[in-house]
Amino acid sequence: MNAAATAVNSVPERSDRQMKREEAAIARKYMGRVPWEMVAWGLGNFVLWLSIWPLALMGFLPIWAAFLLSTLSITICYLPSHEAQHSIIAAEGTPLRWLNELVGHVSTIPLLLPYRIAWITHKQHHANANDPELDPDHGNRGDTWWQAVWNGAQSRQHGANEGYANAIGRSDDPNLAKAIREGTILSLGYYAILTGLAWSGYAIEAALIWWVPRHLAMTYIQLFLSWAPHHPMEETGRYRDTRAWRSPVGTILSMGMEYHIIHHLFPRIPLFQTGPAYYEIRDLLDERGCRNDRT
């Protein structure tokens, strides 16, 4: 063995505690800023989606254009609420907390996903990622992307979504009762609006502006936010339950989920900062044996 190799091998391995300190020091650089772009995204996108309705119903916007715009709008509506779920916009007890909650509640109305229900189930995903019994997102798994799409569609059938129902049933969140009430009101409102529109002669518009776009959006979200970052959903543990990966459709079309490992390690880092954080912390993650499929 030559002298250089001996020198390298003689360097003591860093302790787990030391590596965690280094990781946290890097992560802190990317936390603490209000992601105003997400505030504008969440609220602006909701206003855009609302404006589609009168424009389409009054004949100013062709129904095909309304369908495309609504599908796009609903597809991108989840991410601002996701930032709010992790209190990235404003932490509890801070002056802008009301804005965090506003973005969280409003942005996912088109998706028919109540903010508090989303957070109650999502934090169980973080705590139990890839656990077939405890991860509410585990129903989205599949050996291939098309199997994941099929499984996701199956999970949206009436009475089939046991993972999320069980997650709610297990929850001891103090806001659980309020979350269930809000979810019930949102669902009843949705069906009342669709029924009213159909009764008034706007059944096609109701289907193409809300019902169909919502299902297409859910499919896209489940594929890129749930299946792809965790595929094949077999390993558990802080450094193995998700990955860095290279999307065939690029970072933007995969909604920034190529760096999902950063979000799981440090959930308070805003979405737009996960890429820069990944590149700075990548060597430490490689030392940890993290799943890095970008190389």
What pLDDT score was predicted for residue 157? 80
**What is the value of pTM for the model shown?**
0.91
Q: What is Dmax (Cα atoms) for the chain?
A: 84
Whether the pLDDT of residue 112 is over 50: the answer is: yes
CB burial string 116-154: b at 16+ within 10 A, e below: bbbbbbbbbbeebbbeeebbbbbbbbbeeeeebbebbee
For residue 53, give the nearest of 205, 216, 215 by alpha carbon.
205
What is the average pLDDT value for the chain, to the nearest integer?
A: 93
Mean pLDDT confidence for 31-41: 97
pLDDT class for 174, splitting at 50, 70, 90? Answer: very high
Whether the pLDDT of residue 121 is over 60: the answer is: yes
pLDDT in tens, 276-287: 999 999 999 999
Mean pLDDT confidence for 153-182: 87
Mean pLDDT confidence for 63-87: 98
Please give the structure tokens belonging to residue 14. 């860093």
Residue 255 neighbours by CB under 8 Å, 6+ apart:
76, 79, 224, 225
Domain locations in the chain? 34-238
